[in-house]
Amino acid sequence: MNVFEFLLITVSIVLGLSIAELLAGVGRLLRGDLQWGKLHSLWVLIIFQIQVQLAWGIWGLQGREAWRYPEFILMLLAPAILYMAAAVLFPQSGEVPADEYLIGRRRPLFLLMAAYVVQTGFMATLLMGEAPLWAPTVSRAVATTAFVVLAVSDDRRVHWALAPVILASNLWYTYVFTFLVAGPTGNP
């Protein structure tokens, strides 16, 4: 076991808890414990896609042979933020419809998501050694701005306009920048 694999165990546990938190909320929706909402369901899909993309993309760090403690904390912060976002996404009880709850808890949810985008930018630059290329930098700046707008706005039209854009842009980013995971030789 190399150092990355050792550190990945803890990161995977936190990311697994994040995905489990999201799936537990989906289970509560399916059982009827919570009131379903279309906008809320779209955000469940978006956050799930971001969780899976993190699990997929973090493999890009497997070539690092030496790690400092602050670098490990930086890597661990991404799944921790996603766990908190998944925890904020679902209400404790089904008394409030999911879409209404989402709009009511928009500030912590979308500020966490903005923090995630900023944190993964730092992670890409500081840990993966990415030079600040224009496309990923612009993509992160737009995503961060969109999340801040969502945190501030309680207008559902704004949420409906930005949510599909965020999903599409994240899928584009995943396809363009992290679509292939390769082993140490570069061969899939």
In this predicted model, what pLDDT tens digit does every residue of 142-152 receive, in sequence order? 999 999 999 99
> In whole angstroms, what is the distance from residue 144 CA to residue 170 CA?
12
Q: What is the pLDDT of residues 143-187, one digit of tens each?
A: 999 999 999 999 999 999 999 999 999 898 888 877 666 555 554
Closest CA to 103 of 52, 167, 163: 163
> In whole angstroms, what is the distance from residue 34 CA to residue 27 CA?
9
Q: What is the pLDDT of residues 58-105, one digit of tens each?
A: 888 888 889 999 999 999 999 999 999 999 999 988 889 999 999 999
- What does the pLDDT average to over 37-58? 95
User: What global pTM score does this model have?
Assistant: 0.90
**What does residue 93 show for φ and ψ, rounded to 5 degrees?**
-130, 170
> What percentage of the chain reaches a pLDDT higher than 90?
69
What integer pLDDT is reported at residue 64 of this predicted model?
86
Using only C-alpha atoms, the chain has a radius of gyration, in whole angstroms, of: 17
Domain boundaries, the chain: 3-178
And the tokens for 170?
């994240």
22-25: long-range contacts (C-beta < 8 A, 24 or more apart)?
Answer: 22/47, 22/48, 22/51, 22/86, 22/89, 24/90, 25/86, 25/89, 25/90
First to last CA, the chain: 20
What integer pLDDT is reported at residue 93 of this predicted model?
84
Q: Are 156 and 40 in contact (CB under 8 A)?
A: no
And the tokens for 159?
């949420």
